[in-house]
A and B are shown apart, each in its own frame.
Chain A
Amino acid sequence: QSALTQPPSASGSPGQSVTISCTGTSSDVGGYNYVSWYQQHPGKAPKLMIYEVSKRPSGVPDRFSGSKSGNTASLTVSGLQAEDEADYYCSSYAGSNNFVFGTGTKVTVL
Chain B
Amino acid sequence: QVQLVQSGAEVKKPGASVKVSCKASGYTFTGYYMHWVRQAPGQGLEWMGRINPNSGGTNYAQKFQGRVTMTRDTSISTAYMELSRLRSDDTAVYYCARADIVGATMGLDWGQGTLVTVSS
Q: Would A34 and B45 count as touching, CB distance under 8 A?
A: no
What is the minimal beta-carbon distance from B73 to any residue of chain A, in angstroms? 23
Contacts A98-B61, A101-B46, A103-B44; A45 near B112 (Cβ below 8 A): yes
Interface-centre pick from B35, B37, B44, B100 (highest chain A CB count, 10 A): B44
The contact string, 1 if C-beta is below 8 Å from chain A, for chain B 69-96, is 0000000000000000000000000010
**Majority secondary structure, B binding face:** strand
Give the A-binding residues of B (Cβ under 8 A): 35, 37, 44-47, 50, 59, 61-62, 95, 97, 100, 104-108, 110-113
Stretch at the interface among A14-22, A47-55, A70-78: A47-55
Give A107 to B70 CA distance when docked, in angstroms.
34
17 CB < 8 A contacts A-B: A1-B61, A3-B44, A38-B45, A38-B107, A40-B45, A46-B95, A46-B97, A48-B105, A51-B105, A98-B61, A98-B62, A99-B47, A101-B37, A101-B45, A101-B46, A101-B47, A104-B45
The residues of A that contact B105 with a CB separation of less than 8 Å are 34, 36, 48, 51-52
- For window 81-110 of A, CB contacts with B under 8 Å fall at 89, 91, 93, 97-104
A-B pairs under 8 A by CB, number:
59
Give A45 to B110 CA distance when docked, in angstroms.
7
- Chain A interface, number of residues (Cβ within 8 angstroms): 25
Q: Would B107 and A36 count as touching, CB distance under 8 A?
A: yes
What is the minimal beta-carbon distance from A68 to any residue of chain B, in angstroms? 15
The residue of chain B having its C-beta at the shortest distance from the C-beta of A50 within the complex is: B105
Is A57 in the interface zone, CB < 8 Å from B?
A: yes
Q: Would B106 and A91 count as touching, CB distance under 8 A?
A: yes
The residues of B that contact A48 with a CB separation of less than 8 Å are 105, 107-108
Interface-centre pick from B95, B104, B111 (highest chain A CB count, 10 A): B104
The residue of chain A having its C-beta at the shortest distance from the C-beta of B105 within the complex is: A51
Interface-centre pick from B45, B47, B111, B112 (highest chain A CB count, 10 A): B45
